[in-house]
A and B are shown apart, each in its own frame.
Chain A
Amino acid sequence: MNLERFQLDESDALAFVEGEALPADRLARLRHAMRVDPSIASELEAMRADREALGGLAPVRAPGDLLSRVEATLERQSLLDAVALNGHAESLHEPAIGTIPISTLQPRRRSHVSAVLASPWSRRLAVAAGIAILIGGGLLMIRTRPTPRPSDPLVARDNTGQTSGPSDVPTRLIADTRPPARGSGDGPATPPPRGVESAPVPDPIAVATNDAPAAPAVAERAPAAPMALDEAVRLARQGRLAVRIAARQPEQAQARLESMRHRRSAASAVIERLPADQAGLAIAALQRQYDTMVLALQTQRSTRPGETTDPTTVAAGDRSAPGAARPSAAPPAGVPVLIPERPVYADDVYAARVQLDEAGLRALLRAVALSTDAAEFIVLDLPADAPPALDAESVLWWRSPAAAWLPRAVVPVIVERAR
């Protein structure tokens, strides 16, 4: 590019490339040169294009760790300087405290929280999330708070003798027939015969049926209130609650229970077959109760005149409910006292893992028995100590709704053949 022959220099050409203003005479000379020598014009225009292309290159950003590397270097340098200063101070017998610069060299570092909250949108999102958490927590508390509920329809029906509640399961609730305290107002306070007062009276079991009002049990026992579901919950918490199914066809009952194994039912119950040793414990517990009850009845019967010991009367119990002494009116003199049948003819024993509340137990009772079977709660004198039935749902608790976050209990389910 020969500019000298047009009395121009590099600054004039540079000004044209940079787009700067030129004096009029020099601008005229430059335009003349560009007309006369097209190579000058093309080269200056190309320089302009190169300049624009350079300015259009993508911006580059520093590596993310550059600042931290610089800080680390400075910190190291400060430590080295401190060592050098200390060495110098020791050599001069001067205190070095206050000369270490590391405490004053603190590059600005933002915490993660402050970095997140730096954006106004992040702050708004944080506030919204806080409000959502508060509302959700409140709803959760409201849903999970235990609310007082009216008495269970099954219990109410048993107490009143009315069929106020719907039930398609022939359910019996076990009543604890502890002897009433002397002089109490429940039932006829008949004093025990003389000579029996000091005898220890164990706690037999009796059954309060659906179709009969609470009546004095065998051996002139005053009826106690039937076991309510809250009592069942308490016993289940102690491990002393079991379910007995008196099935006319135990195979069908077992098939039903087998179909419920490892499958969470509507009552969140998980059924598992109880090991043989554990099943034996449960059955033994029932057997002990039966023996105790029979012993008590025989003891009382032996003190009453005119009663028979005909063994046929022993088999005259309620066949439909083995082991259950049907409550009836107080027998007149001479009427044989009914002794219940041997209660346990278990074909199989299962363990049900249910949520420990009234709804869970009620649902379990309705779920395990067919419509033709009799299912009832029974009380174990000793905890059955059944192992918990584990499944994925009982471990993955967060997959359950909040309402299901309740304690769970293991209730043995005994299937026996009805006779």
Chain B
Amino acid sequence: MLPGEPPNPLGDDARELALVRAIRSGDRARWGELLSRYQDRLYAVCFRTLGGGNRAQQHAADLCHDAMVKIMQGLDSFDGSSKLSTWMIRVAMNTCLSWLRAQKHRAHASLDAPHQTGEGYSDSGRVSSVLDSLPAGEPSAASNVERTEQRRRVARALEGLDPEQRAILVLRDLQGLEYDQIAEVLGTPVGTVKSRLFRARAALRAAVETLERPAARPDPA
């Protein structure tokens, strides 16, 4: 489990399968239990895949809603070859990526100025700020500030990445999926996943370095 992540509700495979079997056998009242167990995680996938920030907040709820409807309507197509969580994340991720491709030009227009809508600059109260993401019990104030700045830069840089690169980083670093699970979600071989993941890390590093050089950043004014 990654630091800062809530206890993984998807770890209980037997319970997941029992839940799916009950729903398939006609116990439709278990739908609520299924969705309430996974709604936070699915929403996090959508929110981070969209890049975070106010704009992502506005659309993540709608896309997560659409993904959950697809999941409920398509549960009969779940063949059990993968984990239920992987299958649900795949549905959510595909929903988000499809939407991002459809909105590509508008997304690019927004991502050109990520620092204006990025995480940490939102005053809506809905999105947790980077400052809030600090775990309790940090060793020192200086370390806190350094970590805060690092996370802020990384979050901002994540917004500027290509959606596919952002998606694979979300699946790996934020959702903690293994390579084979990421391969199932994205529908690509494991080797491709590793290659894309390394390139995504390199792109993220380049974006962070860009943000770390204030002189290189165009003046928004």
Chain A residues at the B interface, C-beta cutoff of 8 Å: 1, 10-11, 13-14, 17, 43, 46-47, 49-51, 53-63, 66-67, 69-71, 73-74, 77, 104-109
Contacts and interface: CB of A to CB of B under 8 A. Distances in A.
B202 A1 contact: yes
Interface stretch (B2-10, B82-90, B101-109, B110-118): B2-10
A101 B193 CA distance: 41
A270 B65 CA distance: 65
Given A53-B151, A55-B2, A107 B40 contact: no
22 contacts: A10-B194, A10-B198, A17-B201, A46-B205, A46-B209, A47-B204, A53-B151, A54-B154, A54-B158, A54-B173, A55-B5, A57-B174, A58-B128, A58-B129, A58-B133, A59-B4, A60-B128, A63-B43, A67-B32, A106-B28, A106-B29, A108-B36
A115 B31 CA distance: 17
A56 B133 contact: yes
A106 B204 CA distance: 44
Interface string B67-100: 0110011000000000000000000000000000
B20 interface: no
B76 to A, nearest CB: 13
Interface string B177-221: 000000000000001001101110110110011000000000000
Nearest to B206: A43
A49 B212 CA distance: 14
B31 A107 contact: yes
B12 interface: no
Given A49-B150, A57-B130, A69-B65, A107 B35 contact: yes
A108 B205 contact: no
Contact of A61 (B40, B155, B201): B40
Contact of A47 (B5, B127, B205): B205
Contacts of A49: 150
Given A60-B44, A106-B29, A66 B155 contact: no
Contact of B201 (A14, A56, A73, A109): A14
A74 B34 CA distance: 15
Contact of B28 (A51, A55, A104): A104
Contacts, number: 138
Nearest to B42: A62
B64 A62 contact: yes
- 5 nearest A-B pairs in the assembled complex, by CB-CB distance: A108-B32, A58-B133, A58-B128, A62-B43, A54-B173
- Interface hub of B135, B199, B208 (most chain A Cβ within 10 A): B208
- Interface hub of B47, B69, B154 (most chain A Cβ within 10 A): B154
Q: How large is the interface on B (under 10, 10 to 19, 20 to 34, 35 or more residues)?
A: 35 or more
B36 A67 contact: yes
Contact of B151 (A56, A63, A66, A109): A56
B59 interface: no
Contacts of A77: 69, 73
A111 to B, nearest CB: 13
B27 to A, nearest CB: 9
A66 B61 contact: yes
Given A14-B198, A55-B3, A60 B47 contact: yes
A69 B64 CA distance: 11
B167 interface: no
A386 B64 CA distance: 72
Contacts of A1: 202
Given A47-B202, A66-B61, A106-B28, A56 B4 contact: yes
Given A14-B201, A54-B174, A67 B154 contact: no
Contact of A63 (B61, B128, B133, B204): B61
B150 A73 contact: no
A14 to B, nearest CB: 4
Contacts of B33: 108
Contacts of B73: 74, 77
B182 to A, nearest CB: 12
B162 to A, nearest CB: 16
Given A53-B151, A57-B4, A59-B40, 9 more contacts: A11-B195, A46-B209, A50-B208, A51-B201, A58-B4, A59-B4, A59-B6, A62-B43, A66-B65
A57 B151 contact: yes
